[in-house]
Chains A and B, each alone.
Chain A
Amino acid sequence: MTDIPPRPAPVISCRNVWKVFGPRPEAALAALRADPGARPEGHVTAVHDVSLDIMPGEMLVVMGLSGSGKSTLVRCLSRLNEITAGEILIEGQDIGKLNEAALIDLRRRKMGMVFQSFGLLPNRNALENVAFPLEMRGQPRAARIERAREMLALVGLKGREGYFPRELSGGQQQRVGIARSLAVEPDIWFLDEPFSALDPLIRREMQDEFLRLKGMLKKTIIFITHDFDEALRLADRIAIMKDGRVEQIDTPGRIVLQPATDYVARFTAEIDRARVLHVSGLAGPVAGRAIEGPALPGGQTLRDLARRLVNDSRDWIPVADGTGRVTGMLERRHALDILLGEAA
């Protein structure tokens, strides 16, 4: 336990962030701090004492039902909303202390955001919408049009450059929104329920598209959703929010196996765990047991490997990482319990 490499500095770091809406947020906050159960009249606590770190290249999914404060939290991270108390550091810099010019500069260079209802400008065509952030920072016309074309090609909208938002389908509009958010090559990418307004089939397609972009671009991503399945499918880590508080922040596997609160447990109860749990997450240490036969690829889920697990006859099966190195042993009976349900 001593040779852990030094943790890299977080890209975003929240320290005891509060956001209270209402006529007198400061007073309401004081009351809340004195008594956590208080409900100051006329005020809504959208973000309740949240602290979290987001590492470079990590994808954090913030999951919660409507009104849980997830959208407000992400708007605090980009300072679209001013926080009531606490501090938010982006690459070590307290964004609450930035003046307007510095904040605008930060958004122009570092941040991109995708919105639930797309937030496209109706009077500009797809190309001009994507070029908008570049126009804001004063890039010359030819260069920004060139860049916007590239971005539209990247999201698969080549040939639709001249279309206006109302001439595009919902999925296509969101592709424009994604292209726009990526036009400035941001390091931090916020996505606020980007696929919630889309039909289920399109949503699935857009999730695949998103995973493709994510693999290509290597950005720090904060992704908001109210859809637990979507969160499990996309996340490195999930933060589950309720009433402005973060109930649990962990990897999908740990959230499913060890829910921190009853609330989280209720979410995970309906979930097919085999689809979520990766073999590597389930494997224990080798602990001197003999490694025999072919190893299972650790990056796959139990469901992916179901047939092999059923047909295998070993009690303990080795699990290997991407390079083929054995990292642990999986107890087959335990895996089958999860896959098929506990034996009666």
Chain B
Amino acid sequence: MSMVDRIDLSSSSPRPHAVCLMLGLAAVLILGRDFLPAELLRLPDWLVVPFAHWINAGFAFLRDDLGLMQVTRAFAAMLEWLLDVTANILYGKNRWPRLGPLPWSVVAISMAALGWWLGGWKLAALAGGTFVWIAVMGQWQWAMETLSVIVVAAPFSVLAGLILGIMAWRWTAVQRVLNPILNVAQSLPHFAYMIPVVVFIGVGPKAGAIVTIIFSVPPMIRMTGLGLRKVPEEVIEAGRMSGATPWQLLTRVRIPTARRDILIGVNQVIMQCLAMVVLASFIGMPGLGQKLLQLLQALKIGLSVEIGITIVLIAVVLDRLSRAWAKRQPLHHAEGLSWARRHPVLLVWTVAIALAFALSLVFPLLAQVPRRDALSIAAPVDALVDWLIRLVDPVTTWLRWFLITWVLIPLRDAILWLPFSAVLLAVAAAGWAVGGWRSALVMLGFIGAIALSGWWDRAMITVYMVGFSVFLATLIGFPLGIWASASETRANRVLLVCDSLQTFPSFIYLIPVVMLFGVNDVAVVMAVVTFAAVPLVRYTIEGLRGVAPELIEAAHMSGTTRRQMLWHVQLPMAAPVMLVGVNQSVMFSLFMVIIAAFIGTQDLGQELQRALSASDVGKGMVLGLAVAFLGLAVDHLITRQAQRMGTGAGG
């Protein structure tokens, strides 16, 4: 600790000079913009590196010369076979084994039984109720299309993540290679994953499944490593003293003991799968996502709300079930209990599905609900929304006008007006300020690469959207978090809401904003603000609630007022945690801005979508990496700053 402090001190004396120098130079560049040569305003064309071209050449080599195409197609064929099997069972697609579809009542009962087994009757009601809703609303086919992909993709991700996680835990070399890849992978926007897959596989369910698998592996790798490293040393020693071989130690001691973390990884895989499957509608993946996309583009609000509710319900159910599984602790049974008493859920489930099968033969409505018999809440929702919109229209119209003419457009013009050289200098100065010359170089590397890619203007538009949205989000998130953290119960309630909101696939956030603001920049900003405020609220609460109670008591005894307590004790102590919230908020915003691109923005997201429809891998990867680099740059700045504050507060 003292060593670190000393290093920090020694390097901190030249730091202010360098930072001031760089900022001053940046200011000079900005002030003298009109006299600058064009090369300092925008990177000259001859300097733009044709990354896209190189990547395309690389992919062409992989695909055509190395014959990787054959491998991927073979894998895709196997995956397609599995998808067909689940599709047949879940919604009766005409493929082997030609057994399905299962009556919806059987599926609903099974989900309820699973909920009961994992988490009691509340979870049973939630899980069963969700599937009854899906059937009754006539969305069975779409929901099952979506779920059939998750059912196939999630196990693959879990297995791949487990194996890679174990390898990274076992061999530091693997860990060292994997870590930066994971960092980039977790900040790549969803669309960047889709383009190479489209090139190798084409469009359709199997491409959707593969994208889903790739996208959802990283958290599993992380959680596996985390869990394995957390196994108590004594448990391992007990295993070794019991004469376990390394393999026995891994399979019977380490992995079972790390069960909880590994299952949390499974939970994250499932949630990532759902988020991706919904988005995979962009590459022709049928299901709820595709339906929602069509309805949103046609501005059919009532019907999209129906689908939105279904997606949200599925997200909550999958999240709760997998979490309950992770938390589930084994319980002993009293000796001599009968089989039926030990397995009540299994017994009830067997009887109930037998009954459901029989009844669905007599009453076809219990097997399938045809569209014409389905209920719909679209009409009343539409009416309600119309009424609501008429009510708030003056406000939203004015807000839209105000934001666009007075905030968004001036802001965008200003940020585009800035010479890129000045931005690079300012960014490097920020890096230097938080972490010395190393951080300055890191920042230059990330942002410089974006400049070199030739997508500077688009990237700056993304920056302005994200920056403005996160700014608005902090105006909402921080006060809300501070308000919520005032009492334990309130904090828990708000955290529960945040938890639920975070499980929703990001796509869902577009429904209400499109409803209120139509299809334009304001809608995007509003969607991003809502999405980005959630982590801010969450981390503000956690930071404030995490302040040591002794410290609060000590401050009370020193006679602080509530305001002094907040400003001088709680907020400074909570600041590092709150910064983590800001960091996540920026990440969420980046993802959301890119997703929202389809309702019309002019940033990197729009270009990404163009690249997607043109299957242009090189361009897609470059754009994706540009987004990732923006995210990583912000992540670097904030993490360093949080560390500095953390050590400052700690010692």
Contacts and interface: CB of A to CB of B under 8 A. Distances in A.
Nearest to A118: B234
Contacts of B335: 159, 161-162
Interface stretch (A17-25, A26-34, A131-139, A280-288): A131-139
Contacts of A95: none
B372 interface: no
| Candidate in B241, B244, B256, B330 with the most chain A CB atoms within 10 angstroms | B241
Contacts of B330: 123, 125, 164
Interface string A104-131: 1101100111011111111111000000
B238 A120 contact: yes
B257 A122 contact: yes
A115 B238 contact: yes
A117 B248 contact: no
A163 interface: yes
Contacts of B238: 113, 115, 119-121, 177, 180
| Candidate in A75, A133, A181 with the most chain B CB atoms within 10 angstroms | A133
A306 B436 CA distance: 74
Contacts of B412: none
B172 to A, nearest CB: 14
B259 interface: yes
Interface string B220-255: 000000000000101101111111110010001100
A135 B239 CA distance: 11
A72 interface: no
| Candidate in B239, B256, B257, B330 with the most chain A CB atoms within 10 angstroms | B330
B7 interface: no
Interface in B188-244: 232, 234-235, 237-244
Interface in A132-164: 132-133, 135-137, 159, 161-164
A137 B244 CA distance: 8
Contact of A104 (B245, B252, B259, B332): B245
Nearest to B245: A104
A334 interface: no
Interface in B251-282: 252-253, 256-257, 259
B253 A80 contact: no
A100 to B, nearest CB: 8
Contact of A166 (B235, B237, B239, B329): B329
B332 A117 contact: no
B343 to A, nearest CB: 15
A272 interface: no
Given A125-B330, A164-B332, A107 B243 contact: yes
Contact of B332 (A125, A132, A133, A181): A125
Interface in B307-336: 329-335
Contact of B242 (A136, A163, A164, A167): A136
Contacts of B331: 164, 167
A93 to B, nearest CB: 16
Contacts of A159: 335
A225 interface: no
Contacts of A190: 241
A172 interface: no
B257 A113 contact: no
Contact of B241 (A113, A118, A124, A161): A113
Contact of A163 (B237, B252, B332): B332
| Candidate in B238, B240, B253, B334 with the most chain A CB atoms within 10 angstroms | B238
A78 interface: yes
A105 B242 CA distance: 10
A107 B242 contact: yes
Query: Which bracket fits the contact residues of B?
Result: 20 to 34
A116 B591 CA distance: 48
A123 B257 contact: yes
Contacts of B245: 100, 104, 136
B235 A119 contact: yes
A119 B237 contact: yes
Contacts of B332: 125, 162-164, 167
B416 to A, nearest CB: 52
B250 to A, nearest CB: 13
A136 B239 CA distance: 9
A113 B256 contact: no
A103 to B, nearest CB: 9
Contacts of B234: 115-119
B329 A121 contact: no
A121 B244 CA distance: 13
A118 B248 CA distance: 20
A136 B248 contact: yes
A190 B234 CA distance: 13
A80 B237 contact: yes
Given A113-B238, A115-B238, A116-B234, A121 B257 contact: yes
A184 B335 CA distance: 26
B241 A78 contact: yes
Contacts of A180: 238, 242
Contacts of B243: 104-105, 107-108, 133, 136-137, 184
B240 A80 contact: yes
Nearest to B242: A133
Nearest to A75: B237
Contacts of A78: 241
Contacts of B256: 121-124
Nearest to A110: B243
Contact of B237 (A115, A124, A125, A161): A115
A250 to B, nearest CB: 28
Interface in B332-378: 332-335
Interface string A182-225: 00100000100000000000000000000000000000000000
Contacts of A166: 329
Contacts of A100: 245
A23 to B, nearest CB: 14
| Candidate in A115, A167, A181 with the most chain B CB atoms within 10 angstroms | A115
Contacts of A117: 232, 234
A75 B241 CA distance: 10
| Candidate in A108, A122, A125, A166 with the most chain B CB atoms within 10 angstroms | A122
Contacts of A118: 234
A104 B332 CA distance: 32
B259 A123 contact: yes
Contact of A111 (B239, B241, B253): B241
Nearest to B249: A136
A149 to B, nearest CB: 12
Nearest to A117: B234
A136 B334 CA distance: 27
A309 B460 CA distance: 95
Contacts of B232: 117, 119
A187 to B, nearest CB: 14
Nearest to A124: B256
Contacts of B248: 136
A177 B243 CA distance: 15
A323 to B, nearest CB: 39
Contacts of A75: 237
Contacts of A177: 238
A124 B239 CA distance: 13
Nearest to B335: A162
A107 B329 contact: no
A133 B331 CA distance: 23
Contacts of A119: 232, 234-235, 237-238
A321 to B, nearest CB: 38
Given A123-B330, A162-B332, A167-B332, 14 more contacts: A104-B244, A108-B243, A115-B234, A119-B232, A121-B238, A122-B257, A125-B330, A133-B243, A135-B252, A137-B243, A161-B335, A164-B329, A164-B330, A180-B242
- Which 7 A/B pairs are nearest by Cβ-Cβ distance? A108-B243, A119-B238, A162-B332, A133-B242, A119-B234, A113-B241, A107-B243
23 contacts: A80-B237, A111-B241, A115-B237, A115-B238, A116-B234, A117-B232, A119-B235, A121-B235, A121-B252, A122-B257, A124-B256, A125-B330, A132-B239, A133-B242, A136-B244, A136-B248, A161-B335, A162-B332, A162-B333, A164-B330, A167-B331, A167-B332, A180-B242
